[in-house]
Structures are given as C-alpha cells and as structure tokens.
Amino acid sequence: MCKVFKLTNAFLFIVLAAACCLQAETLELNVEEAVALGLQNSTTLKTKLIAVNAARAAVRSSRAGFYPTVTLGTVYTHYFEEQKTSAMSVNGFDIPSQYIGSTDPLLFTLDLNQTLTTFGQLKDSVKISEQNLNLAQIDLEEEKRTLIVSIKRAFYLYILTREVLKVQEETLDFRKERLEIAKKRFSSGLVPDYEVLSAETDVESFRPDLISAENQVQFALLAVKDLLNVEDEEGFDLKLMGDLHVSEIGLEKSELIELAMENRYDIEQYRKNLRLMEISNRVTRNQKLPVVRGFVQYQAQSGYDSATGRARYVGEDSWDGDLTAGVSLQWQLSGVFPWSRENADIVEASLDLEGMRLGLKSLESSVKLKIENLLLQIEEEKAKIASRNKGVELASKLYGSARERYAKGFISSTELNESLITLNTARLGYLESIYSYMEARFDLMDAVGVYHF
C-alpha cells in the first residue's frame, strides 16, 4: 500500500496549478491520479489519523506509570494575630513573652513517588494501550484500502457508462443511416413511404435510450466526484481517462487464502481484540495482587526571630528541613475469597475469550469459502467475455452484410433493424461482461484485504 499512500501532495498541487495557470476547464485524471486525489481530500482518513495520534499519546501516558512523579509545592501564610507566649514569673524569675512562630512562614515541599511493583498490572495496562494503538492503525489502513477500491469501482463504472453511451450513439447513427437509405430508395420509387416512416420511428424511439445513457454517465461521474470530495464549484471539470480491460490476478487460490489470513481487516481486528482480551483477563487476575509504592519527601520551613516574630529567610538558622521516606502497600484482600467479584469476573472473561476464539475460526472459514466462490465467478465471467466477444464479431459482420443487402433492396427494413438490435445487444453484453469481471476482481480484493493484485 505504501506506493499509493505516499503519493505526493506536490503532484496533486502541480496538476491543479497547471489547470488553473493554463485556464483549462478540464482536469484529466487516470485511475492512479484519481486515487491519489481521493486519499488527499478524504476527511474520513484525516479523522482516522487523529484517532491514531490520540492512541499514540495514550501509549505515552500509560508508560509514564513506570517513572517517578515529582511534585514541588510551596505555601506562604500570613498570621494577623501574633503567635507568642505570655510574660510570666516563676520563682522570682521574670520570663518575657516570646514568639512561638513566624508571622509570615514560608514552606517548601518536594515529593517523589515511585511505583515499585504492581505484579504486572502496570505493564499490562501499557500493552492494552499499545493494542488500542494497533487497532487504530489497522482501522486507518482499512479505511485507505476501502477508499481506494471504492474509487476504482466508481471510476470503472463511469468508464462503462461512457462506453455504453458510445455504443448507443453509434447505434443511433446506424438508425439515421438506415433512414437516409430509406429516403433515397423512396425517392427512387423502390419502396413505399412506409419504409421512411418506419425508419423515422426507429430513430425517434431510440432517442430516450440515448438520453438515459447520457444521464448514467453524469450519475457515475457524480459518484466519483463524491468519493474524491471534489465540488463542481472548484473551477474545473473532471474528465476520467481509462478503459475497461481484463487483467489476470496472478495468484493461486492457496496464495489468496494465505494473503487474506494476513491482510483482511476483520480477521486482523479479531486477532487484535483477542489479544486485547487476553491481556485484560490477565489484568483482572492480577487485581488480586498487591501494589507496592515508595515515596520520599523533603520539607523546608522558614525560620523566625523569637524576639520579634519576623520571618527569617536568609542567614543562620533561617531554614529548617526534614527528609522522610517510606513504602506503602495496598492489597484487595476480598479478591482471595471464592465468592468475590474478582473471581466472578475472571470466569466470565475466560468464557468470553473462548467464544472469541471460536468466532475467529468461523470467520476464517467463511473468508475461505467466499474466496473460492469469487474465483469461480471470475472464471465464469472470463468465459462469458470470450463468448460475447465472438458474438460481437459475428453480429458486426451480420449487420454489415444486412446493410449492404438492404441498400440493394435484397432484404426488408425489418430484417436490417433486427440485425442492428442484435449488434447493439451483443456490444452492450460484451461491455457488461468485462465490467462484471472487474467487479468480481474488486470483490476478491475486499475478500482478501488488498487494493490491487
């Protein structure tokens, strides 16, 4: 996928700038350029990318639990009433009053806390956040892949409608040609006016089919514009350049199944969720284990003059510091009892995990079956293409012969019209078979989890 996802913004800028500088009204894009523009303009991809960055930040946040937390604090206090003792006399000795504290004390604290061990709980919480990041990343990649395949589907549907329009235009021209021949033969007195009226009726009755084909082209183009997030008001018309073609897959069934097991989004998502549940189960079991934390605190208190009560911030005996350290242990003892909520959660999680494992096996089996069915469908469409291509060749020869014979008066207009209808049906059927083959390939891409073969 890297080649597509790394299509440069500069390339798109040059294309659009060239269209503007040359005052061109049409921007021509092939399928690769259309995919690049769609990836560039997709708001959904931008939203998914934000989710990936948020998940990446959550990983960093969870890893922070391995490191100590350091907190610096300071407290300044002002006492409006003096904190001092009263003057007294003891055994004839006078003891003057003294201040027992500063009127404006200043306190600084520095705290350091470190988790010593959680018996795997902290490590598992990091793994959970990493799994969530992986899920967000594969979600982004699948959105890219889905968008690419959707753009290709819409792109070639537009090409199909354009080719159908060409067939209908040529068919109308053939009917007009028949009308001109009928007019000439009527002028020569070879046929009655019925031949002219019949030919005119065929021309006019076919015009609605042509109008419908023109509308289908416009509808298909609007669908592509919607996927590319391109608005008509942006100052240029969009023209898609390409053709319908049959290309081989180049991979055997076993290779496709192996590729699907590695790349398919829902299988990979299932496996990631399965791994996430396994980690969550371990976290649930470890909740019954203790958590040990260590702490260190240093506290510095400003001094004071006992005679005046004034704060002393500088000089001898101005600060008094205390250093403390310790260890704390927390243990959810209720978890050891068999009737506890923790034990019930462990049993429930184990059953859910087993259910997910069975679900993964079922999903893998259904994917294998779908790939086998699509391969059969692709072979069927290839056979139809070969048959209908031969049918177009024969119908073209038939119509050419009928046109010459009609011009010479050997056959009726009804026979000529039938040969034209046969040719039109054969050409449309051939185009339909090619697109059906391409659609089956796109379905196989979705089944395998890729955007190209």
Q: 378: buried, middle or exposed (CB in 10 Å: 19+, 13-18, 0-12)?
A: buried
431 close to 160: Cβ distance less than 8 angstroms: yes
Q: What tens-digit pLDDT sequence spans the chain (453 residues)?
A: 444 444 444 444 444 444 444 445 778 899 999 999 999 999 999 999 999 999 999 999 999 988 999 999 999 988 887 677 666 676 767 666 677 777 788 999 999 999 888 888 888 889 999 999 999 999 999 999 999 999 999 999 999 999 999 999 999 999 998 888 888 888 888 878 888 888 899 899 999 999 999 999 999 999 999 999 987 655 567 889 999 989 888 889 999 999 999 999 999 998 988 888 888 888 777 777 888 899 999 999 888 877 777 888 887 778 888 999 999 888 877 767 777 776 777 777 788 888 888 988 999 999 999 999 999 999 999 999 999 999 999 999 999 999 888 888 888 888 888 999 999 999 999 999 999 999 999 999 999 999 998
The C-alpha atoms of residue 83 and residue 102 are separated, in whole angstroms, by: 7
Residue 286: CA count within 13 A, CB half-sphere: 16
Supply φ then ψ for residue 92, to 5 degrees: 85, -5
Q: 398: buried, middle or exposed (CB in 10 Å: 19+, 13-18, 0-12)?
A: middle
The C-alpha atoms of residue 68 and residue 325 are separated, in whole angstroms, by: 14
E-state strands within 88-135 = 88-90, 93-95, 106-117
Q: Where are the alpha helices (DSSP H) in 229-293?
A: 253-263, 265-286
E-state strands within 77-198 = 88-90, 93-95, 106-117
CA 437 to chain centre: 26
Domain ranges of the chain: 2-41+118-290+334-448, 69-116+293-330
Supply φ then ψ for residue 90, to 5 degrees: -125, 115
What is the structure's pLDDT at 57?
Answer: 95
Pairing of strands 237-240, 26-29: parallel
The model's pLDDT over 89-126, given as tens digits with 9 standing for 90+, comes to 767 676 666 777 777 889 999 999 998 888 888 888 89
156 close to 244: Cβ distance less than 8 angstroms: yes
For 401-404, which contacts have Cβ atoms below 8 Å and span 24 or more sequence positions?
Answer: 403/174, 403/177, 403/178
The C-alpha atoms of residue 57 and residue 46 are separated, in whole angstroms, by: 17
Specify the CATH number for 2-41+118-290+334-448; select among 1.10.3720.10, 2.40.50.140, 1.20.1600.10, 1.10.10.10: 1.20.1600.10
In this prediction the pTM is 0.79
For 353-358, which contacts have Cβ atoms below 8 Å and span 24 or more sequence positions?
Answer: 353/274, 353/277, 353/278, 353/281, 356/270, 356/273, 356/274, 356/277, 357/274
379 close to 325: Cβ distance less than 8 angstroms: no
For 421-424, which contacts have Cβ atoms below 8 Å and span 24 or more sequence positions?
Answer: 422/395, 422/398, 423/171, 423/174, 423/392, 423/395, 423/396, 423/398, 423/399, 424/167, 424/168, 424/171
> 401: which 2 tokens?
């012969």
69, β-bridge pairs: 113
The model's pLDDT over 225-284, given as tens digits with 9 standing for 90+, comes to 999 998 765 556 788 999 998 988 888 999 999 999 999 999 999 898 888 888 888 877
